Structure 1
Amino acid sequence: MAHPCPDPYPALTGTDRDELYTHVQLHYKRFGWKVVKVRTSTRPTGDVYRVTLGCDCGGRARESISRGIRQRKSRKTGCQWTSDLMRAGDEWTYVPGRFVHNHPPPLKVEPSKDSIRARAEAQARKRAAERGRVRDVLPTMHLGLYRPGPKNSLTDVPGVLVSVQSTQPSPSVNTGVTVILPRREWLTEACHANIFRFNGAGEVTGSHWVQETGLLNSPIVLTNSMSVGDAYRGVLDWAIAHHAKDGQLDSFLMPVVAETYDGYLNDICKMLIKPQDITRGIDLCSDAPVPEGNTGGGTGMVCHHWKGGTGSASRVLPGQELAPTPAPLLESPVNTVPPQTPTYTVGVLVQANYGKAEHLRIGGAPVGRILHDQNAHERIVQQKAEAARHEAEERALREQRRQQQYEEQLRAQTGQQPLLGIDQAFAQAGQLANQLQQAAFQRQSRQSSASDDAQAQAQLRWQASVATHKQRKDGSIIVVLATDAPLNPTQCERLAKRATVGFSRVGGVGHNLSGDIFIAFSTGNSIPVASVARPDGASQADSLRPRARTLAAVDDATLDGLFEAAADATEEAIYNALFMAQSIEGFKERKVEAIPLKWVKEIMEKYL
Structure 2
Amino acid sequence: MSTGPLNSFTDVPGIRVGHTTLIDPPRVHSGVTAIVPDGIGPASPLPAGVFAGNGYGKLLGATQVAELGALETPVLLTSTLSAFRAADALVGWLLQRPETAGARSLNPVVGECNDGLLSDIRSRPVREEHVRSALETAHTGPVAEGCVGGGTGLTALGFKAGIGTSSRRVALAGREVTLGVLVQANFGGTLRVLGRTVTPADVGLPAPDPVPDSGSCMLVVATDAPLDARQLTRLARRAVYALARVGAAYGHGSGDYGLAFGTRPLGTPAGPAVVSDDSLDPLFTAVLDTVEESVLNSLLTATTTTGPEGHTRHPLPAGRLLALLR
TM-score, normalised with respect to structure 2: 0.94
Q: How far did 1:373 drift?
A: 5.7
Q: Deviations over 1:536-587 (max 9, x none)?
A: xxxxxxxxxxxx9998311111000000001100000001000000111221
Residues 287, 375 of structure 1: alpha-carbon distance in 2 compared, 3 angstrom cutoff: closer
Q: Secondary structure at 2:147's aligned position in 1?
A: coil
The equivalent residue for 2:181 is 348
Distance 2:12 2:38 in 1: 10
Structure 2 counterpart of 1:178, one-letter code: T
Q: How far did 1:519 drift?
A: 0.4
Q: Note if contact 1:195-1:493 (Cα within 8 Å) is conserved in structure 2.
A: yes
Residues 507, 519 of structure 1: alpha-carbon distance in 2 compared, 3 angstrom cutoff: same
Residues 580, 550 of structure 1: alpha-carbon distance in 2 compared, 3 angstrom cutoff: closer
Matches within 5 A, 1:154-553: 154-243=9-98, 249-250=102-103, 252-321=105-174, 342-356=175-189, 359-368=190-199, 371-372=200-201, 459=206, 463-464=208-209, 467=210, 469=211, 472-527=212-267, 552-553=273-274
Residues 500, 293 of structure 1: alpha-carbon distance in 2 compared, 3 angstrom cutoff: same
Q: Secondary structure at 1:189's aligned position in 2?
A: coil
Q: How far did 1:305 drift?
A: 1.4
Q: Percent of aligned positions with the same letter in both sequences?
A: 34
The equivalent residue for 1:563 is 284
Q: How far did 1:243 drift?
A: 3.0
The equivalent residue for 1:589 is 310
Distance 1:211 1:511 in 2: 23
Q: Secondary structure at 1:149's aligned position in 2?
A: coil
Distance 1:295 1:250 in 2: 33
Distance 2:310 2:168 in 1: 39
Distance 2:88 2:267 in 1: 25
Distance 1:198 1:170 in 2: 33
Q: Note if contact 2:240-2:257 (Cα within 8 Å) is conserved in structure 1.
A: no
Q: How far did 1:375 drift?
A: 5.7
Q: Secondary structure at 2:193's aligned position in 1?
A: coil
Which structure shows the higher strand fraction? 2
Q: How far did 1:473 drift?
A: 2.7
Q: Note if contact 2:203-2:324 (Cα within 8 Å) is conserved in structure 1.
A: no
Q: Note if contact 1:234-1:277 (Cα within 8 Å) is conserved in structure 2.
A: no
Structure 2 counterpart of 1:483, one-letter code: T
Which structure shows the higher helix fraction? 1
Matches within 5 A, 1:108-123: none
Q: How far did 1:169 drift?
A: 3.2
Q: How far did 1:276 drift?
A: 1.9
Q: Does 517-526 or 253-262 show the bigger shift?
A: 517-526
Distance 1:154 1:505 in 2: 20
Distance 2:315 2:22 in 1: 19
Structure 2 counterpart of 1:243, one-letter code: P
Q: Secondary structure at 1:297's aligned position in 2?
A: helix
Distance 1:580 1:508 in 2: 19
Q: Note if contact 1:486-1:525 (Cα within 8 Å) is conserved in structure 2.
A: no
Q: Note if contact 2:95-2:103 (Cα within 8 Å) is conserved in structure 1.
A: no
Q: Note if contact 2:40-2:74 (Cα within 8 Å) is conserved in structure 1.
A: no
Q: Note if contact 2:114-2:214 (Cα within 8 Å) is conserved in structure 1.
A: no
Distance 2:7 2:204 in 1: 33
Structure 2 counterpart of 1:153, one-letter code: S
Distance 1:237 1:601 in 2: 47
Q: Note if contact 2:203-2:317 (Cα within 8 Å) is conserved in structure 1.
A: no
Q: Secondary structure at 2:264's aligned position in 1?
A: strand
Distance 1:231 1:518 in 2: 19
Residues 218, 185 of structure 1: alpha-carbon distance in 2 compared, 3 angstrom cutoff: closer
Q: How far did 1:601 drift?
A: 1.2
Q: How far did 1:320 drift?
A: 2.9
Structure 2 counterpart of 1:521, one-letter code: F
Distance 2:127 2:155 in 1: 23
Q: Secondary structure at 2:288's aligned position in 1?
A: helix
Q: Secondary structure at 1:152's aligned position in 2?
A: coil
Q: How far did 1:185 drift?
A: 3.7
1:153 aligns with 2:8: yes
Number of equivalences = 326
Q: Note if contact 1:299-1:309 (Cα within 8 Å) is conserved in structure 2.
A: yes
Q: Note if contact 1:583-1:591 (Cα within 8 Å) is conserved in structure 2.
A: yes
Q: Deviations over 1:437-469 (max 9, x none)?
A: xxxxxxxxxxxxxxxxxxxxxx56xx23xx2x2
TM-score, normalised with respect to structure 1: 0.51
**Unaligned ranges ≥5, structure 1:** 1-145, 322-341, 377-458, 529-547
Q: How far did 1:187 drift?
A: 4.2
Structure 2 counterpart of 1:149, one-letter code: G
Distance 2:204 2:125 in 1: 36
Q: Note if contact 1:162-1:286 (Cα within 8 Å) is conserved in structure 2.
A: yes
Distance 1:527 1:288 in 2: 28
Q: Note if contact 2:21-2:32 (Cα within 8 Å) is conserved in structure 1.
A: yes
Q: How far did 1:588 drift?
A: 2.2
Q: Secondary structure at 1:254's aligned position in 2?
A: coil
Q: Note if contact 1:525-1:551 (Cα within 8 Å) is conserved in structure 2.
A: no
For the pair shown, the structure with the greater C-alpha radius of gyration is 1
**Unaligned ranges ≥5, structure 2:** none
Structure 1 counterpart of 2:177, one-letter code: Y
Q: Note if contact 2:25-2:308 (Cα within 8 Å) is conserved in structure 1.
A: no
Distance 1:523 1:551 in 2: 13
Structure 2 counterpart of 1:580, one-letter code: T
Q: How far did 1:240 drift?
A: 1.8
Structure 2 counterpart of 1:280, one-letter code: S
